Amino acid sequence: MNTKISLLAIIEILSSLSIGVIILFITYKTLKFIGRKKYDIQHNNQAYSIFMASILFSVGFMVSSVLQPILSSFRILSTTHGDTSGFILSFLGYGALYVFIAFSSAIVISLVGISIYSWLTPIDEFKEIKDNNIGVAIIVSSIIVTLIIMSKSGVTLLIESIIPYPMAPPR
């Protein structure tokens, strides 16, 4: 059994679970708070639940793009750092940066996409969602998910550009 590969697998599983639960919990609580305070959306609003589900899926999908860069950073940092504490701190720092970029990108892409869509249409989508219009919620949710799917590779490339590759010696 290759212990380095086993360790990487365990780290990937634990990272995915911990990052996923924390990010989705924060997103859910934030959306619930905004819906209740800013739009006065009640607990049993199915349209808002559909909208929240699309945001949660989109955030999870975008944040899933950090797994490969995190593993690449782990491999690189494990060969370049001599002391364990420096390795762990560097690894956690890069991981947190990658997650922050993916999370922020998902939120910004969703907000900008919905803002532009709302500006282009004659109806107020958030008022319709508040009024429990499920059709509008499905359309808005589809737009959010589609924009995230289309932009995930660009965000992944941005994150990969930050991986601490060792410098090649000059010729």
Q: What is the pLDDT of residues 108-155, one digit of tens each?
A: 999 999 999 989 999 989 899 999 999 999 999 999 999 999 999 999
Q: Which residue bears the tokens 């107020």?
A: 124
Q: Where are the alpha helices (DSSP H) in the chain?
A: 3-37, 46-63, 67-80, 84-120, 125-130, 134-160
pLDDT in tens, 72-98: 777 777 777 667 677 777 777 888 888
Which residue has better confidence, 5 or 114?
114
The pLDDT of residue 61 is: 94
8 A C-beta contact, residue 35 and residue 41: yes
pTM: 0.84
Rg (the chain; Cα; Å): 20
Chain-centroid distance of CA 70 in Å reads 14
